[in-house]
Amino acid sequence: MGWDLLLVLTVPLAVSVVCWWAPVALGRALTLGSGLLTFVLAAVLVPAKTTTALSGWLRADALSVVFLVAVTFLYAVTAIFTIGYMQPAGDARTTATYSRRLLAGLNLFAWAMAMTPLVNGLALLWVAIEVTTVISALLVAIDDTDRATEAAWKYVLIASMGLGIALLGTIIMYYAGASVFGSAYELFYPKLLGAAGHFPPQVVRLSFVLAVLGYGTKMGLVPVHTWLPDAHSEAPTPVSALLSGALLAVSFYAILRFYEVTERAIGPEFPRNVLLAFGVASILLAALYLASQRDLKRLLAYSSVEHMGVLAIGMSISSPIAVVGVLLHVLAHAAAKGTAFFGAGSVVRKFGTKDMTRIRGGIGALPWTGPMLVLAVLALSGMPPFGVFRSEFLIVSGGLADPRGAVAAVLVVGVTLGMLGLSWFTTRTMLTPSPDHPPRGETSNWIVCSMVIGLVALAVLGVHPPGQLSDLLTRAADELGAKI
């Protein structure tokens, strides 16, 4: 199965290089092919046991595969959306250059994000995440406006500083391991996990806090989230979707890898408390910002902060069912946020603005993507029958079984407040009838197609997740120390 991992890592990279030079039509087709192929390759890994390649430098266990599936799914649907996104009229020459750059960047970005869960070891994990930062910063700036430049600068600076802290955390974890392995060794996961019980507790604690602070900056945890709304709102829509649904998730994956080691070294109590503090701050602050947003894409960005808070709180709950819920939430959030951003992209293109006070009668103007955007937002708010409902339900029911029942209460209050802001603004822009909305009609069938796939996936995750996927989530939760 090692060839599988190698293909996942070579195809998007090769396609990215080709897209830089090839005609746009070929680039779009190749991007679509690459997205679908990597998703199929990730799906093949779902039932497999741990797979390794390149003499152990690449490794996919159940936890990796969960995140790989999230990334590749979003990569595939974003590839479909991007075909529709690139069909505007305009100056052919600039459009072609812009499109080639965007396609090359998207593939490279997806490649870096797919690499993150597949590399074996905390050090290479850091390298992969830093690569995602620099690529995505350029993608945020690609529209070349004042606002995009500002967002990209803030993003690359704040995220890099955060990753500097994460690097310090990684080095300190290396020091913790050196007490067992001697001064020169590789930071491979199985090795670290096997010996974690003998690591010096205080050093592991320091390392974990630094890692959460550092990778939490990339993940968008409050109070180190400040780059996130800017970058998500100013990036081109396909990039926003990948940033929100996949990049935040792989940053969370990095925290989970540290959690694994820490949990085995000093027990789960300390890492849970750290995540709880960040999670509660994120969910409450995001709920407040959601209630006062006027920019459609910023609204979705703050919803991401809220959902990252849900993930952090979910990990702080001792019940194993909550950990399964957290992993399902990663997948459901990727599908829901991707679909919502695609819908927002369609609305922004139709109305020519992101300002929600100036968008009225969305459903009248967009017969397909309009209602689907409303559905995606309802899914994000945790409404059944979608995947987010199931995952949040699992987390809350785990929380009720937890001795600290108040955690579940905070979670429910936060999610409800977030839902109020999110659905109030979206339904007002979409459902309020308006006589002077733009002419009725979709901008592209490809956009409709990408949203349909996203919603179907969400419904499948919510109503009846495939047996092998449930099995994968259980195995991944088991790796995180939550035995069911």
> Which residues of the shown chain bind other proteins in the complex (CB under 8 A)?
121, 123-124, 126-127, 130-131, 133-134, 137-138, 141, 144, 146-147, 149-154, 156-157, 160-161, 164-165, 167-168, 171-172, 174-175, 178, 182-187, 200, 202-203, 206, 229-230, 233-234, 289, 292-293, 295, 298
Give the nearer residue to other proteins in terms of CB position, either 298 or 329: 298
**Residue 403: CB minimum distance to other proteins, A:** 31
Nearest to 13 by CA among 105, 92, 77, 85: 105
Q: CA separation (Å) from 337 to 248, 308, 329, 407?
A: 11, 12, 11, 25
Give the nearer residue to other proteins in terms of CB position, either 289 or 386: 289
Handedness of CA 310, 311, 313, 319 (dihedral sign): positive
Maximum pairwise Cα distance, the chain: 74
* CA–CA gap between residue 126 and residue 251 (Å, rounded): 10
Residue count of the chain = 484
**Residue 116: CB minimum distance to other proteins, A:** 13
Contacting residues for 382 by C-beta, under 8 A, at least 6 apart: 388, 389, 392, 415, 419
Give the nearer residue to other proteins in terms of CB position, either 102 or 322: 102
Q: CA separation (Å) from 272 to 48, 115, 311, 398?
A: 29, 27, 12, 14
Give the nearer residue to other proteins in terms of CB position, either 234 or 392: 234
**Residue 179: CB minimum distance to other proteins, A:** 9
**Residue 181: CB minimum distance to other proteins, A:** 9
DSSP letters, 420-435, are HHHHHHHHHHHHS--T
**Residue 281: CB minimum distance to other proteins, A:** 18
Alpha helices (H) along 86-145: 92-118, 122-140
**Residue 313: CB minimum distance to other proteins, A:** 25
**Residue 317: CB minimum distance to other proteins, A:** 30
Give the nearer residue to other proteins in terms of CB position, either 49 or 294: 294
Radius of gyration of the chain (CA): 21
**Residue 118: CB minimum distance to other proteins, A:** 15
**Residue 344: CB minimum distance to other proteins, A:** 17
Give the nearer residue to other proteins in terms of CB position, either 121 or 343: 121
**Residue 149: CB minimum distance to other proteins, A:** 5
Contacting residues for 474 by C-beta, under 8 A, at least 6 apart: 324, 484
Report which secondary-structure segment, H or E, holds 60.
strand 58-60
Give the nearer residue to other proteins in terms of CB position, either 49 or 147: 147
* CA–CA gap between residue 430 and residue 364 (Å, rounded): 8
**Residue 121: CB minimum distance to other proteins, A:** 8
Give the nearer residue to other proteins in terms of CB position, either 225 or 390: 225
Give the nearer residue to other proteins in terms of CB position, either 177 or 279: 177
Give the nearer residue to other proteins in terms of CB position, either 202 or 273: 202
Nearest to 422 by CA among 313, 298, 309, 308: 298
* CA–CA gap between residue 343 and residue 173 (Å, rounded): 42
* CA–CA gap between residue 136 and residue 235 (Å, rounded): 9
Give the nearer residue to other proteins in terms of CB position, either 200 or 438: 200
Nearest to 375 by CA among 451, 437, 302, 460: 451
* CA–CA gap between residue 231 and residue 224 (Å, rounded): 14
* CA–CA gap between residue 153 and residue 172 (Å, rounded): 29
